[in-house]
Amino acid sequence: MNIFTMIGLILRHLLRLACVRADNLLGRKKKKVAFIGLGKMGAGMAGRILRMGYDLSVWNRTAAKADPLVATGAKLASSAEAAAGDADIVITSLMDDASVLELVNGVLLKAMKPGAIHLCVTTISPKCGDELQHLHSQAGTRYVSGPVAGRPDAAAAGRLVTYLAGAPDAIKIVKPVCESYAIVAIEVSDRSSVANSMKLAVNYVAASVIEIIGETYAFAEKSGIDLSHVQQFFQMAFAHPALKLYAQKARKRDYVSGVGFTMSGGLKDVRLMLSAAEEAGMNFEIGKIIERKMLAALSSDLANADWSATCEVTRREAGLSSSGLS
């Protein structure tokens, strides 16, 4: 992304903010938004929605996670049902297929008002995306898949990328809300699963690059190359801030501070990638290597580390010392 494109996106974001504030001053009716699931990503996204002036209700199983949002104007719902029942748009940021389907079947299909929209920002399987679209259609509610790409710091700064798929009229309604936490919201299809496939494609690139970073550092270390030269190459070659961050984490072997994506979450996504690839008649070979290394990490002292700690598994398999890990 060049500087002129970046400036354009920032100006668009400021214009959106001005429009929302103008609506508030003029008393125009705003969409009521409910946000369910306040993990690292969800809390940052909900905070951005609140800053844009939306009428926001929040709910999380651990209620204390909502305290910072409530302190700045969000309403704490007494239950997921209460959050969803009064909302025009219900956003869910949960863990996986099972948790999303449990909430939809157990709560949302019964609680949401007719015509309300469920926007799911979780990374789920394409099959689950299509199932959710069908369930909501049968219930008289609407569904949009809106998985996001980025780390928690990007969520809090409103710099995520989101891919949207679903009925065009529903996307038109949710897109302004999405633009509060995303620097760009990309419409990809009217079929929900396509957005989920797109997110898995993005994550597959990220996971594969992390694997390459780890292998390159291990090769350099065994070959007597000063790792600062490799890191300098990565900083020049990788334009995206996230890739630079992963190269830096691998160089410093710092996988505990600033954990943005956990190893268990990474494994879930990698397995979704492998399953989606198999259904499409593809064989993600690097993905299988990453899966094996993630399983090794989860059975070791790296279980609570960032998913980029697969680079440390690579070092250990190369016979390099495990001392000095931070």
DSSP-assigned states of every residue in 156-199? HHT-EEEEEEE-HHHHHHHHHHHTTTEEEEEEEESSHHHHHHHH
The answer to whether 220 and 227 have CB atoms below 8 angstroms apart is yes
Secondary structure of the chain: what % helix, strand, coil (to 5)? Answer: 60, 15, 25
The predicted structure's pLDDT at residue 7: 57
> Which residues face 119 on adjacent strands?
91, 144
The predicted structure's pLDDT at residue 323: 85
d(CA 262, CA 108): 28
Q: Which CATH superfamily is domain 3-190 in?
A: NAD(P)-binding Rossmann-like Domain (3.40.50.720)
Task: Tell me the DSSP string of 42-63.
Answer: HHHHHHHHHHTT-EEEEE-SSG
Domain limits, the chain:
3-190, 198-317
The predicted structure's pLDDT at residue 27: 41
Q: Is 94 helix (H, G, I), strand (E, B) or coil?
A: coil
Q: Measure CA 99 to chain center.
A: 15
User: pLDDT below 50 — which residues of the chain?
Assistant: 22, 24-28
Let me know how many helices (H) and strands (E) the chain has, helices first.
Answer: 15, 9
The answer to whether 287 and 270 have CB atoms below 8 angstroms apart is yes
- Helix (H) or strand (E) run with residue 92 in it: strand 89-92
The predicted structure's pLDDT at residue 26: 38
The answer for residues whose C-beta is within 8 angstroms of residue 197's C-beta and 6 or more apart is: 126, 276
d(CA 125, CA 275): 8
The predicted structure's pLDDT at residue 14: 56
Angle in degrees, CA 29, 35, 37, rounded to 5: 175
**End-to-end CA separation in angstroms for the chain:** 33
Domain 198-317 has CATH 1.10.510.10: no
Q: Tell me the angle at which helices 192-223 and 126-139 cross, rounded to the nearest 10 degrees.
A: 160
pTM for this predicted structure: 0.85
